Structure 1
């Protein structure tokens, strides 16, 4: 099933994006996390243990729900099981929505509506956006597209190929946990520790694969693939995250711009390390090149996964 399922889910995401009128498993996962968090916060004596319980309980419910739904659908009919598997797989990908949401911000910047652009940006990044200038808004857009190419597209593709819809939904569960409680502030430093570390672990391979695909995409797009590779090797590990620096450094190198630098998160200044070389001011064209890198890197991941799956099907000893 996986051989046809993943390309079909990818195509469906490109066609439909993320319609807000349809039910979405990630939204349900978020609601589950909030309810479990509220229940566990009433027992504050061991915050780190409570965070471990939160992560374990969330993933257990996600696994049981996804596996149970697919098993039940399988009993009712193969067509129903296939349709459900396709829908679940499709909901784990965020390629088109990442493009459309970031493009809306850049369009506002190009129209000179910076206050509206800052507000729109605040819905897709975790940093404070109120004080960002034009270039800061564009830089934040490029960074989030680069990072989320890994988190929102390449990693889900990897887990779809490895574990089908259930595996990808478990990954999305861990990613949602990290986005909701995996912060280093006073409230979540201990409570979100397990969620943050789990997300780091699950993204170790996808982040590096994303950087490699970005370099190959830069070569195909006639950008500076050599500088992209050098920048990844030089700067990727400077990032505070063990993973986010890899796709961001690849994009910075390919485009000849500098990403990172000082930012504000939840009112606290953070001196993020600089990635790349400041060879040119950041412009909307750099954003469009980043989007092209995102699409091509995603397609390369899909093609590689399909090829590997085909090889394993026909040569099981590999």
Structure 2
């Protein structure tokens, strides 16, 4: 069955449908203009006919009737023009509203298309690697060192696949059924644990971490915060172009501030409010170089929000981005 969605994210024939809608709107405007002209013309004809009738009356009657006739004529004219303006404004407002909804739907279709392409690749890649490892074990008698190398690689691919599935399930739960269990914990412990795990997973990336000396206690759902920190730091690693990642914790008056800074490509200002949307990724999946599914930062934003905090991204100088997460202190 042919796909109903084109590669660029637009449904078939949308261009022709949009042209047809513009033609219909143009026809409606022209029909209304013609209707308004006819009404004004009929109003003028009625005014002229009434003036002809006044010529048969006395001068005193004519003066009073003439004034009333002019008022009635102007009132009718004003009513026709006023109703016309209301109709035109309502029409343009309706067109704007429909076009905004149309554009939003097209963007959602594009994001879902990109997500399907991304998730297909993200699932296919580790499965292909694991299959190749098993086939190598089956067909060859490997030395112990080679076996250890392949086993280590297979474990990494399995962990990658497991993390992907966890993120998919967590993303689905965050929309409906996720209920955080909040307990008092030291956020420094969570940061140090996640940094330690990622240093093992990415030994070639220099991950720098600086926290505060005093306990940083917050009300938090430990698994949720662990997922939030992991996705946030992995995002910095992914787009950091191999440069060092700086992680800092600051003690503010009412909250703690976590900053994750990279020296990568950065986030364009126009996209800084969009990157936390579900499935959103810049560009198109067929030409994008970086891996991902578009749900990592969505998870970050939702979990941060559930903890009463907020997340934002600012420019890092001379290049890169700084993701700033704030979490309220435990009272």
Structure with the higher helix share, 1 or 2 = 1
TM-score (norm 1): 0.24
Of structures 1 and 2, the one with the larger relative CO (CA 8 A, separation 6+) is: 1
Structure with the higher strand share, 1 or 2 = 2
TM-score (norm 2): 0.23
Pair member with larger Rg: 2
